[in-house]
């Protein structure tokens, strides 16, 4: 089994308890991060009519729900919101939550979408789990229309953490795996989270990879003790 297959299998295992664990572990703050991402992205759109939003590594569809609700609040018409994820377990939960939306089982490196067909591609806490990340970013570029946006929410590595950043790291390493393990009955899956952050990129390196893949950075900011980082880039 490849590393990517192991990650997908892990998410299949925790799918039934994933939403509940997320709300508990983030203490609900992730709802602010997701709203902020949607609202800022819509602010960068030149039209109130959007053809297609593709949410990659969509999991149980949380971000798709936020795209829909925030578009309605902003008076923006979105023709379709599509979710793509390699985990059948996660997508199964998503289809139950959002039966009106479209879901596809596929990896980030092979999106089942035509060239230049999406206005926005989002990936929330999933780019870290794409083993062939640069191939994934090139795939995002292929699917996006010229001027289209990629919206990334992620737990980024912090090489020089502040005092608050050290508190975050302590929580991630000591509290999160225990609570997540209790809720999901899968300690290993929630031990993976802090380990994957430690092995991931800094914001600067993620920005460099986006630029290499043909994107121009528009926005980058970390929230809530630098726990979560939002990056928005435009296809050149």
Three-state DSSP class for residue 79: strand
From the list 183, 172, 118, the residue with the least C-alpha distance to 149 is 118
103-129 confidence digits (pLDDT tens)? 999 999 999 999 999 999 999 999 999
139-161 confidence digits (pLDDT tens)? 999 999 999 999 999 988 776 66
pTM for the model: 0.91
54-85 confidence digits (pLDDT tens)? 999 999 999 999 999 999 999 999 999 999 99
pLDDT of residue 225: 66
Show the domains of the chain with their CATH numbers: 3-235 (3.40.50.150)
The residues, any chain, with a CB within 8 Å of residue 57's CB and separated by 6 or more, are 84, 85, 108, 123, 124, 125, 126, 127, 129, 130
From the list 7, 108, 6, the residue with the least C-alpha distance to 58 is 108
């Amino acid at each position: 089994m490849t590393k990517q297959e192991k990650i997908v299998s892990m998410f299949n295992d925790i799918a039934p308890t994933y939403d509940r664990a997320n709300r508990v572990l983030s203490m609900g703050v992730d709802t602010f991060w997701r709203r902020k991402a949607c609202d800022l992205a819509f602010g960068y759109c030149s039209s109130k009519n959007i053809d297609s939003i593709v949410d990659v590594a969509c999991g149980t569809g949380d971000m798709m729900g936020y795209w829909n609700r925030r578009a309605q609040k902003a008076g923006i018409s979105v023709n379709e919101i599509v979710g793509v994820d390699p985990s059948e377990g996660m997508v199964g939960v998503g289809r139950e939550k959002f039966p009106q939306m479209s879901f596809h089982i596929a990896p980030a490196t092979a999106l089942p979408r035509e060239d230049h067909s999406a206005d926005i591609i989002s990936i929330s806490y999933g780019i870290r789990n794409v083993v062939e990340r640069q191939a994934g970013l090139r795939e995002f570029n292929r699917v996006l229309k010229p001027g289209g946006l990629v919206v990334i929410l992620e737990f980024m590595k912090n090489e020089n953490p502040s005092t608050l950043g050290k508190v975050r790291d302590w929580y991630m390493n000591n509290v999160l795996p225990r609570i997540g393990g209790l809720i999901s009955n899968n300690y290993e899956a929630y031990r993976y989270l802090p380990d994957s952050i430690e092995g991931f990129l800094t914001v600067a390196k993620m920005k460099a990879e986006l630029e290499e893949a043909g994107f121009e950075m528009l926005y980058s900011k970390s929230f809530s003790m630098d726990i979560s980082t939002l990056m928005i880039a435009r296809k050149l």
